[in-house]
A and B are shown apart, each in its own frame.
Chain A
Amino acid sequence: MAEWFRRSADKIKTLDKRDTAEGLWIKCPRCAQVVYKRELEKNYHVCISCSHHFRINSSAYLKLLIDNDEYHGIAENVRSVDPLSFKGEKKYSDQLKAAQTKTGLNEAVRVVVGKINGQDTVVAIMDFSYIGGSMGSVVGEKISRAIDHARKRKLPLIIITSSGGARMQEGAYSLMQMAKTSAKLAQYSKDNGLYITILTDPTTGGTSASFAMLGDIILAEPNALIGFAGARVIKQTIGEDLPEGFQRAEFLVEKGFVDNIVHRRDLKRTITQIFNFFGIEKFQNSKVTEIE
């Protein structure tokens, strides 16, 4: 009897409530379409109906970009300390532990060397889920080592950003990471290294005002929030509402600060196209080994 109420047309899907409860279905925050989780995963975590790019973690990007998901980690043993014995609402050391438990990561960035369509590449990926992807001493150090590795091995460098900015709990140490990573990039650039940044949602504050905006080529995911100051602060300062689409990836292309917007599906292909154009295969390619 119940079957009579089932829709037979493919266009309209009847959702199974039990499945929703078990988290097999996900509602798109943009178009409110409810999609089957496995479908979403197959579509690179991009909404099938409106192309909303869901935030994904570093593991998902590695799977997306690196051939056979095979890579070597760099600077994996660098860990945060609490240099100021920071006393906030929560203890910083507790926050670090909580973030590690929640994400299974040891910091807000991962650095690896792996092949992208056969090309050895140094890839650093930030995780927004780890204390807002904030940059403290360890993020700065790991990014710096990524740049050094790329420079020494003459490999191209890719950084995928997702970060609210510098990590307040480390005070001026965090601020200095902006200068540190930028100085390293200056050296890399002088040596003719190729640096591509991929800005994802969100990339703001000290991260945007340092290595994120220093790519030779700057790509962004659709609709990613990218800017220096937070929207709330700007609103307070100017005392009016912000225009539609302000600080979104498309806005930055319009204003001339991002080269292109790339759908996640096309990301790997686009990177390879850029590599091929600049003749990266001419780089002195050495076997991937871990330097620590």
Chain B
Amino acid sequence: MSKYTLEFEESLREIEEKIETVKSTGIKTGVDVTSTVQQLERKLEDKRKSIYKNLSRWDRVQLARHPRRPHSLDYIEMMCDEWMELHGDRYFGDDKAIVSGLAVIAGKSIMIIGQQKGRGTKDNMLRNFGMPRPEGYRKALRLMKLAEKFNIPIVTLIDTPGAYPGLGAEERGQAEAIAKNLKEMAIIGVPIINIVIGEGASGGALGIGVGDRLLCMENTWYSVISPEGCASILFRDATRAKDAADAMKVTSIDLLEMGIADRIIPEPEGSAHMHPKKASEMLKDVILEELAQLVTLNTDDLIENRISKFEKMGKWEEI
């Protein structure tokens, strides 16, 4: 598979193919192609820079969904000194679309809860494409309560195309499970950092997304509905997702401007999937930095600040 799969990466793919052709010609003919290759590689980097400087909203949506983009467990593996996954909601089952467990990062205990997408068909079936069911939200809450009991901070990694719209999920109270998390997370007495690492669609994302800080990795989106969903309802045409992404202003940058995200975590040149290790280091540094600030607050202040943060959200006028 080519490194470049997205439409806007087409010109990068072309240059890279050319480099390969020149290289193999060099090997075949014995002609020195070093300078040509260097020239092309410089061109590739320049092109990449110019593309990534001018990404459209839709480009970012696609990057957020890139099949090679690191998922929760990838970051966990790269960031943590220790990791022990804990399973199950103790009522119904274990939702594989949400992973959770005891993490140690730079010597600090942190409860991590993340939505987990799969890679490839089989893995995606197992992970239900990162779409949690009620038991996933209940597992998350169980472990957040456990963290609270021992004064352990919580980090949630948001990456979901939405809560699963299935028969069983409805029967087992998808709405109740999400609602309960929203209410409980508002008053959990330990720091909670929510980080959008890929996609953040709707209540399914928010179900693990209430906390003291909302951080968005650079190439991510987070909104009330997916661009496709919005397009099919409001434009009556799902193919107009690009327009819907613009209309709803869904990217990390938009959310920062709207005052919903607190901070954007930059990604390495060419997005997180090109340099996962680098991306995870940048993520880790920000987590540690934000936690260091939050742990200085006493519990009452922490909760009061959290509630007043959400209190201010929204735009209206008083006549």
The total of Cβ contacts below 8 Å across the A-B interface reads: 205
Q: Which residues of B contact A104 (CB under 8 A)?
A: none
Chain A 134-177 interface 0/1 with B at a Cβ cutoff of 8 Å (1 = within): 00111011001000000000000000000000111111111111
Taking the closest CB of chain B, its distance from the CB of A212, in whole angstroms, is 7
Q: Are A79 and B319 in contact (CB under 8 A)?
A: yes
Min C-beta distance of A161 to chain B, whole Å: 11
A105 at the interface (CB under 8 A from B): no
Q: How many residues of A contact B (CB 8 A)?
A: 65
Cα separation A185 to B169 with both chains bound (whole Å) = 24
**Does A205 belong to the interface (CB within 8 Å)?**
yes
Which residue in A140, A179, A185 is a CB contact (below 8 Å) of B209? A179
A190 to B183, CA, bound (A): 11
Among residues of B, the one whose C-beta sits closest to the C-beta of A106 is B319
B146 at the interface (CB under 8 A from A): no
Nearest chain B CB to A163 CB, angstrom units: 12
Bound-complex Cα distance A86 to B164 (A): 28
- Residues of A near B120 (CB, < 8 A) are none
Residues 223-252 of chain B, each 1 if its beta carbon lies under 8 Å from chain A, else 0: 111000010011110000001001111100
Chain B residues near A211 (CB, 8 Å)? 179
Q: Once bound together, how far apart are the Cα atoms of A81 and B254, in whole Å?
A: 18
Q: How far is the CA of A233 from the CA of B228 in the complex (A)?
A: 12
B93 at the interface (CB under 8 A from A): no
Quick check: is B170 within 8 A (CB to CB) of the other chain? yes
At the interface, yes or no: B138 with Cβ under 8 Å from chain A?
no
Within 8 A of B (CB), among A233-263: 233-234, 237-238, 242-243, 246-247, 255-257
26 A-B pairs within 8 Å (CB atoms) are namely A78-B317, A81-B317, A136-B314, A138-B314, A141-B314, A166-B203, A172-B255, A175-B222, A175-B224, A177-B314, A178-B179, A178-B203, A179-B210, A182-B182, A183-B182, A186-B184, A187-B187, A211-B179, A226-B175, A227-B174, A228-B165, A229-B170, A234-B170, A255-B171, A256-B173, A257-B173
What residues of chain A have their CB less than 8 Å away from a CB belonging to chain B? 77-81, 83-84, 86-89, 136-138, 140-141, 144, 166-180, 182-187, 189-190, 205-206, 208-214, 226-230, 233-234, 237-238, 242-243, 246-247, 255-257
